[in-house]
Amino acid sequence: MPYDPYKALYLHIPFCVRRCGYCDFATAATERDSPAIDEYVESLVLQLRRASKEGELGQIETVYIGGGTPSHIGMGRLSMLLYALSTAMHLTPEVECTMEANPESLTEAMVRDIWALGVNRLSIGVQSFDDEVLRILGRAHDAEAARAAVRAAQTRFHNVSVDLMGGIPGQSLASFEASVREAVALGVTHVSVYPLTIEPHTPFDRAVMCGEMAEPDDDVEAACMEAAARILGEAGFIRYEVASYARPGLASRHNTAYWTGVPYLGMGRSAVTMTQNAERRIRVQDGRVVDDLDARQMAAEDLMLGMRRAVGVPLSQVAPAAAVIDGADAGAPGVADGATAAGSVAAAFAELEVLGLAEHRGGRIRPTERGWLCGNELYGRLLDLAP
């Protein structure tokens, strides 16, 4: 059975001016004039040409250039990469093309040039507008540089996103709330909010183990997430995914592709490619298969991914999922008719409702606020349907 066409493309740029203490991404602090960056970008260009020749880019609808810090590599290399991208596929204005940037390396000149070369959405790694919090995180910019980067981006881009982080040891709830309000005041159109996670083998992990840093407090992180939902909601932002808020009509199409089971192609170090058809879903990273799901596991994963989104899972999806996971008769009366699907799928959703993690509303099963705050429990219960 042929595989479905790729609809999303991710290009990974694994270089930064410095590594932050919490970061476990596949990145390295690299001097801007390093030949290693030139070699890497040339390799990406060759991969784009090869993928184009093999017909893999013909139906791409979203592109995401992430990192690392793409803006760190400079305009010369970005021009080479974006020109190769535009010749490898139809990079029309209808294609959402996002580039990540950090404040210390984003300039007005770069903004003008990447906009002219087809980028139409910018995502800026701000994390906080509090200088002390930025110092704790080990960021290479200060709050004023973050403000300047947003203003520079807005000279060409209507769709500007910022990342903010909460639950950082040494960060007060008031500080976090002030950063969220400042993002709104600056006029950004999208905000992604993340609680700090202590990842193994990072400097923050070692600091926690040595008692030099307090572990993030779950209650404080929950309070930050609730504050973000309140402030952004009052400002007219729509929460469309567990960590993402957007002005109406400006939700990230690339992010949404990940949560809706759209096949995506990843290029670059540690980038993941997801290939699928009706029978299998395969994820490959650095030439190694990291996930190989059968139809039952795909159905369970789709239910889990749906519950990451504010719209949740339509009842019309639950009965077919139950048919695959539980072996039920797909044509029998079930959740699609407003009744109850048989087997473990129905039991799982019933349990999630009893726990206050999910609710029936508007012909869909949706995550509650508590469900998002207790995501491990919510998502784990659904993935356990087909381990």
Domains, the chain, in order of start with CATH, read 8-257 (3.80.30.20), 309-387 (no CATH)
DSSP code for 73: G
pLDDT at 328 over 70: no
Span 108-137, average pLDDT: 97
Q: For residue 187, what pLDDT is reported?
A: 98
What's the helix, strand, coil split of the chain in %, to 5? 40, 20, 35
Question: What pLDDT, in 10s, does the model give residues 46-97?
Answer: 999 999 999 999 999 999 999 999 999 999 999 999 999 999 998 999 999 9
Q: For residue 331, what pLDDT is reported?
A: 40
How many CB atoms within 10 Å of residue 336?
A: 19
| Weakest mean pLDDT among 33-42, 49-58, 189-198, 321-330 | 321-330
pLDDT at 25 over 90: no
Q: For residue 255, what pLDDT is reported?
A: 94
Question: In this structure, what token pair is assigned to residue 42?
Answer: 């040339």
- How far apart are alpha carbons 88 and 57 in whole angstroms? 7
Length of the chain: 387
- Strand locations in 236-322 (E): 238-241, 244-246, 264-267, 272-276, 281-285, 288-293, 313-314
pTM strictly above 0.85: yes
Top-confidence residue, 78 or 318: 78
Q: For residue 1, what pLDDT is reported?
A: 77
Q: For residue 326, what pLDDT is reported?
A: 85
- How far apart are alpha carbons 232 and 33 in whole angstroms? 40
Q: For residue 342, what pLDDT is reported?
A: 47
Question: In this structure, what token pair is assigned to residue 222?
Answer: 């929950």
pLDDT at 354 over 90: yes
pLDDT at 330 over 70: no
- How far apart are alpha carbons 68 and 197 in whole angstroms? 17
Span 36-42, average pLDDT: 97
- Model confidence at 362, in pLDDT bands (50, 70, 90)? confident
The label of the residue with tokens 């290399």 reads 77
- How far apart are alpha carbons 239 and 309 in whole angstroms? 8
Q: For residue 361, what pLDDT is reported?
A: 86
pLDDT at 172 over 70: yes
Q: For residue 387, what pLDDT is reported?
A: 85
How many CB atoms within 10 Å of residue 33?
A: 8
